[in-house]
Structure 1
């Protein structure tokens, strides 16, 4: 093999193929809509998990109850795959240096941390009201170290009780961002020139192998460590690289096949949901419809407030059903009415939070240049 010839690896740019994704500055309505639908699915899942609409669930056909209420936790793997795609898209072909990585981390921190911290305050406020109305309930946070651990996404890793059970996914997302950028940074530091993809190929081949093997080794799982779910994020990133010509389609197919084997061994619905989402993204991207499918105003609005909806829905849902239980009887019809009211309240709260907290945070983050 010639020293100048790129190895047959999972990363190989095909010069003849035109990129199937738009520039990083362009919105992708299909992805925005999926993010919103995934967030709404998680909300519905927690309504069911909280046994707030048990009469309605019992009256529904089994398949419909399964699809609506019992499978909504699979919105999380959808988030992870979409995150991998979007982060790979946002970095694009930029050279990741220490300076770039620091600015990238700062942008993401401002974009995500400020709403996250605000949601912690809101969750604690709701918990305080609940403790007052229901003596003996107690607060979800009792020590300063527990609060500090939450502020830096280390509560699960350090073994603290979570203030809000949905926060574990944010802890994982932060780890995904850091691992992905560090791998790219090392790869770019090791390459001989801008066209040398071998370091990136080697490092992400190792990352892919690790992500396939880790779920099969429960003894290695550490609470709060994101590696068991790393494959979800990588699938999204690899979809983007496949569509943009950085990765050959056959290597993506091989990775997906390996993860199918993981599913066959573990029967983990998370892995299968990741695979399905990744394949859908790939097919829609190849068809050129990431920018024109699911463009309806409602779905785009839902996608816009999805992060706020995800952060706030648990305390809002609990408080709303606490109040509505005094008004509505536990019948299928009235359960359905209550659920619609609660979903509407969640969406309204998410919109207000987006206007007052998330949108200003995003605007501030955009003022920081990549490099």
Structure 2
């Protein structure tokens, strides 16, 4: 655990930098590279070595949790910068869906020519799978995505929906309660949670997937129209999505979360990033924030071991959690420094890199002969070819799909403003007081506020 001490209230802070925050870009790019390395490693170092490393350090889990922590930090900042849930949702949808849909099209094309196979769950429940992919919430319906990395998108989308609901009701600064409360539910009461309350059967899952599409569209419509009653109703729907990880976190064997309590635990990590953002910007009481983050850290390390009894869970979750804490603390410490352009570029293309890297790996492994994949030189070549093609694909997708999508989103925002007028602000909230200004930020594990704000001195400490 690291402790970061902030400047006292009223102390001068650095001027706000350019719109992009290099340290967060670097963390995002780094997380994407780590996840890609995790998926590449069996092809390069061999499955046995990959499993040996996994018994101590699960690089996939580590990289995803860095993503979660960064997302938790960034999303409230994005909402509050605009002060508009309409702008947030239009910007977010046009930010994530174009590259997501392109990836789906590429995968289906590869399936059509028999290079890739659709997993059995989606083959058995195609309609449910399609509906689940519309909202990105397929994991909580009980179905895996077309490619495995899609599972994190379900948690990200769930987080957006819940945080938007809290923002609409003026409850968004209660981050400490959400982070700590969810972590405690997973740690203490996790075994009491049902895994498949809404999706135990084939028909149940199809109905649930359809209901989620309807609720998702209805909540977005409320935010887009922007009238206060509709925003409040959309907020209720958004907060209600918490029922998915709480009661349907592992509806089938295809769900990535092993149980509902594990799904709740991972959601608490996203909220941990939000707590750090709030403490950084002096929006919550320092002791409440520190306590919540400590609870998340303890829960991240111990919950799986307590509920499964497997010592391996204690080792792997503890190592991953502490490494995420250290990683984010290092990034935060360097936030005032100019970041190398190559590293910030990785952050800019990180979403496309994350989506496409598995597709690239599948294609390379399909076309290379077995004797090449078995030789040392061949494995090195696979690694080099993988990074060359993946980075090129990520750059092209970012340049030709993501950026035009974001530009289109801005035009749509303007048209909606003209059609519906300005949307109403969130519920009023009391201003922060000097007594609430935090002096300590604890960085905990969970995968973009301005570097010049608040904390200025880093004091490492081990407990």
TM-score bin, normalised by smaller chain: 0.7 to 0.9
1:47 Cα offset (Å): 1.9
Give 2:206's aligned residue: none
Q: Give matches, 1:195-210, under 5 Å.
A: 203-210=174-181
Give 1:105's aligned residue: 89
Give 1:290's aligned residue: 335
Note the alpha carbon deviations across 1:154-204, whole angstroms, 9 max, x for none: 3222233421111111111011011112112212xxxxxxxxxxx555x43
Q: Give matches, 1:107-186, under 5 Å.
A: 107-130=91-114, 141=123, 143-186=126-169
355, 364, 371: which one pairs with 2:408? 364
1:261 Cα offset (Å): 2.5
Note the alpha carbon deviations across 1:1-48, whole angstroms, 9 max, x for none: xxxxxxxxxxxxx8435568947x621111101111111111111123
Give 1:79's aligned residue: 67
Note the alpha carbon deviations across 1:70-102, whole angstroms, 9 max, x for none: 52332111111101111122233665xxxx323
SS in 2 for 1:328: helix
User: Cα–Cα, structure 1 residues 271 and 169, in superposed 2: closer, same or farther, change >3 Å?
Assistant: farther
Q: Is the 8 A contact 1:83 1:233 kept in 2?
A: yes
Q: Is the 8 A contact 1:39 1:75 kept in 2?
A: yes
SS in 2 for 1:53: helix
1:347 Cα offset (Å): 1.2
344-353 or 220-229, which deviates more = 220-229
User: Cα–Cα, structure 1 residues 272 and 327, in superposed 2: closer, same or farther, change >3 Å?
Assistant: closer
1:122 Cα offset (Å): 0.9
CA RMSD, Structure 1 to Structure 2 (Å): 3.5
Cα distance in 1 for residues equivalent to 2:391 and 2:109: 19
Cα distance in 2 for residues equivalent to 1:86 and 1:218: 31
Give 1:89's aligned residue: 77
SS in 2 for 1:166: helix
Give 2:10's aligned residue: 16
Cα distance in 2 for residues equivalent to 1:319 and 1:223: 31
Cα distance in 1 for residues equivalent to 2:361 and 2:394: 12
Q: Is the 8 A contact 1:80 1:232 kept in 2?
A: yes
1:238 pairs with 2:271 = no
Q: Is the 8 A contact 1:88 1:237 kept in 2?
A: yes
SS in 2 for 1:241: helix
Structure 1 unaligned segments of length 5 or more: list them.
1-13, 188-198
Q: Is the 8 A contact 1:107 1:365 kept in 2?
A: yes
Give 1:192's aligned residue: none
Give 1:223's aligned residue: 249
Give 2:40's aligned residue: 47
User: Cα–Cα, structure 1 residues 161 and 33, in superposed 2: closer, same or farther, change >3 Å?
Assistant: closer
Give 1:9's aligned residue: none
Q: TM-score, structure 1 length as denominator?
A: 0.76
Q: How many residues were matched structurally?
A: 332
User: Cα–Cα, structure 1 residues 93 and 103, in superposed 2: closer, same or farther, change >3 Å?
Assistant: closer
Give 2:182's aligned residue: 211
1:306 Cα offset (Å): 0.7
SS in 1 for 2:114: helix
Structure 2 unaligned segments of length 5 or more: list them.
1-7, 194-245, 251-259, 306-312, 415-421, 424-463
Cα distance in 1 for residues equivalent to 2:64 and 2:120: 28
101-110 or 86-95, which deviates more = 86-95
Cα distance in 2 for residues equivalent to 1:344 and 1:65: 29
Q: Give matches, 1:324-339, under 5 Å.
A: 324-325=368-369, 328-339=372-383
Q: Is the 8 A contact 1:19 1:244 kept in 2?
A: no
321, 336, 340: which one pairs with 2:384? 340
Cα distance in 2 for residues equivalent to 1:278 and 1:20: 25
Give 1:264's aligned residue: 302
Cα distance in 1 for residues equivalent to 2:155 and 2:373: 39
Q: Is the 8 A contact 1:259 1:271 kept in 2?
A: no
